[in-house]
Amino acid sequence: MAKKTKEKKINLDSILFKCRDILRKASNAGSFFEKRDITLTLVFLRFIGEKFEDGTEKLRQNLIEQGLDPNDEEIFKAFFDDATFTDGTYNLPVEARWSTIINTPAPQLNVALDTALHSIATSSKQLKGCFIEGTFTTRNLAPNDIKQLVDEINKISHKAFGEEKDLIGRVYEYFLKEFAVNATKEEGEYYTPHDVVQLIAAMIEPFDGTLYDPCCGSGGMFVQSTDLVREKHGDISRINVYGQEKEAATYRLAKMNLALRGISHNLGAESISTFTKDLHKGIYFNYIMANPPFNLKGWYDDNLKNDSRWSDYTTPPESNANYAWILHMLSHLKPLDGVAGFLLANGALSDSDTLAIRQKLIENDKVEAIIILPRELFITTDISVTLWILNQNKKGGEYHGRTLRNREHEILFMDLRQWTENHVSGEQKKKVRLDDTQIARAADIYHTWQSEGIDGNNYAVPELYRSVGIEEIKANGWTLVPSKYIEFIDHDLDIDFSAEMARIQREMKSILEQEKKSQKMLEDAFKGIGYGIE
């Protein structure tokens, strides 16, 4: 009987590894960024093609249910030649469909792919600018190489990987972590894991109005937030997203990502630094969610010295952009009720060169909560990070169906560093995640603290959270390090030292007795053969 071979499970990382390997061996694949662009553009064509196929199949089924024959020439012409979809699906010309691409002979693939890109760019204003036209003929990969690459990308499907919340974002994340040799070029780029985005969204509840991300990367924050809106309310049209991105390739990726999801968006007309040129100047947003590059250097130039974004404070230090991000986001929050949730490296909690800004932020009652997160939540870095929540209204009132109390001159501190029990398997480095129960618990701690009837002076659980008044923060030199305020129990004090010493003495006595027995047995053995032991 033939031995049954175990089928190897195909996962997203294994497919992308194969793509990377194909491009590594290819003679004309170009730089790291060009390899990334090639792969991501193919993934885009695969996703948009699959969505079109799903849309046409759904349209066929709807026609059949209405008693119409989709194969009838007149019916086909009326409904399929210029199909209109209501769920964000794009009607693709024949040359841009994945079914056309996958069946194109290898020697003609480079031209066919660029034809598809040109066709999409000229037929859709929303998709124009998502990619670089001429990508494939410029690189002109050998027929065997481009065919292998297309065949691998063909395995990536929403049907096969439906559990992924942000597939294009995951592809982007793969390139960030696998091409570690490019870390200096990729400085500061971190894909935000789904559980972290879910935590921020659960805290600030961006379920209607305008949502802004000043450093939107691949658009994953938007994609995952709108997924949560669908789960909660089912209508993403209630959210309008705005963003900005500095890196041209990542800007294209974000446009690609949002277009595929049917998310209405405004990322500005170009890719440029938020500090150099604020593309949304003068616009105020209900919510801000962001994961700025940690400790970003090289952000400053002399033109920013008297910038209006920090005119009410002081110019942030040139050494890193942490407080420049804070003041930029604050300048875009709606003055009466805007809320922001964003991540920063822990150094921002107590840096001496930002003390004056931090003190004024606290005195002006802009900081509402500081939540220190577990290490190893990110694949691309193990740096320890903090979730900050800024709120323009701590005076109380109605908010998303809840009545909030006056929280002026209070800050909620939370320390989640011990929430590390959920290990993620299959990664090349140690990684943990926050599960739904933990996220709900953290959000409940925050929302309960906000609620009417809570005594903020006595809201605390040792080693987890504590509400702190401004006078205590002032007494601690305006530091926002949670461990300065949250009670930590010295578990050594619970030890009964008398009993512990007695236990150690018993163990030592037992060891000595065992050694004496062993020595006696050894002496008897040598005596039996006529030897003595000196």
* CA atoms of 527 and 91, how far apart (whole Å): 97
- Same domain membership, residue 451 and residue 530: no
Q: What is the pLDDT of residues 79-89, one digit of tens each?
A: 766 666 656 67
pLDDT of residue 173: 66
Residue 526 belongs to what domain range? 496-534
Residues 372, 264 share a domain: yes
Backbone dihedral region of 385: left (phi > 0), alpha (psi from -120 to 50 degrees) or beta? beta
pLDDT for the residue 496: 61
Same domain, 303 and 452: yes
Asked if residue 369 belongs to a domain, the reply is: yes
β-bridge partners, 240: 210
CA distances from 290 to 22, 192, 226, 363 (A): 34, 9, 14, 23
Relative to beta strand 465-469, strand 239-243 is: unpaired
Within a domain: residue 352?
A: yes
- Residue 319 CB neighbour total at 10 angstroms: 13
Tell me: do 461 and 415 sit in the same domain.
yes
Looking at the fold, whether 103 and 199 belong to one and the same domain comes out as: no
Q: Are 387 and 343 in contact (CB under 8 A)?
A: yes
Question: CA 114: distance to chain centroid?
Answer: 31
Is the full-model pTM beyond 0.85?
Answer: no
For residue 352, the 8-state DSSP code is G
CB 285 within 8 A of CB 242: yes
Residue 168 lies in a domain: no
CATH number at residue 59: 1.20.1260.30
Q: Per the domain annotation, does 76 fall within a domain?
A: yes
Strand arrangement of the beta sheet that strand 265-266 belongs to: 265-266, 239-243, 209-213, 287-290, 339-345, 385-391, 367-372, 410-415, 465-469, 460-461
Intervals of the chain under pLDDT 50: 1-8, 163, 179-188, 493, 531-534
CATH of the domain at 403: 3.40.50.150
103 and 194, same domain (yes or no): no
pLDDT at 453: 87
Is the same domain home to 130 and 25?
yes
Q: CA torsion sign, 343 to 345 to 348 to 353?
A: negative
Q: How many domains does the chain have?
A: 3
**Helix (H/G/I), strand (E/B), else coil: 354:** helix
Q: What is the pLDDT of residue 522?
A: 60
How would you label 291-305 residue by residue, b for 16+ Cβ within 10 Å and e otherwise? bbbbbbeebbeeebe
Q: Is 119 found in the same domain as 244? A: no
Residues 196 and 282 in one domain: yes
Cα–Cα dist 298/104, whole Å: 46
Residue 85 within a domain:
yes
H/E element, 119: helix 109-123
**Strand runs (DSSP E) across 323-418, as ranges?**
339-345, 367-372, 385-391, 397-399, 402-404, 410-415
Residue 10 confidence (pLDDT): 60
